[in-house]
């Protein structure tokens, strides 16, 4: 099990332009993450059978799903105004 560590940074001032850009950027990244999320769900299903049959995890599938969850978490923190750090357009897969 890995420990979850979250570093949150935010500036005191926010502009209306930044909020508009945040909305546009979050929508684009959200659409991309939703598409990747379909594959992440498939990967979780395949991982379940892999564990059921072989009794161990597949490292590549586990890394893919973990990185997708990290990307979604970064997006949520950004969209809910908890941090000013933009999430990457594509998560590290």
Residue 88: DSSP 8-state = P
pLDDT (tens digit per residue) in 3-12: 777 776 666 6
Q: How confident is the model at residue 67 (pLDDT cuts 50, 70, 90)?
A: very high
Residues with Cβ within 8 Å of residue 65, at least 6 apart in sequence: 40, 43, 44, 47
More confident residue, 82 or 14: 82
Q: Where are the alpha helices (DSSP H) in the chain?
A: 16-54, 59-79
Residues with Cβ within 8 Å of residue 13, at least 6 apart in sequence: none
Q: What angle is formed at CA 51 by the lines to CA 49 and CA 55, rounded to 5 degrees? A: 140
Prediction pTM value: 0.79
CA 69 and chain centroid, separation = 4
**Domain residue ranges of the chain, discontinuous segments joined by +:** 34-85
Percentage of the chain lying above the pLDDT 90 cut: 55
């Amino acid at each position: 099990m890995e420990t979850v560590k979250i570093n949150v940074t935010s500036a005191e001032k926010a502009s209306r332009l930044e909020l508009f850009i945040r909305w546009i950027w979050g929508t684009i990244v959200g659409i991309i993450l939703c598409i990747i999320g379909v594959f992440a769900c498939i990967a979780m299903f395949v991982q379940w059978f892999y564990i059921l049959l072989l009794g161990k995890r597949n490292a590549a599938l586990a890394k893919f799903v973990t990185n997708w969850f990290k990307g979604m978490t970064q997006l949520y923190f950004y969209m809910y105004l908890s941090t000013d750090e933009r999430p990457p357009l594509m998560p590290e897969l």
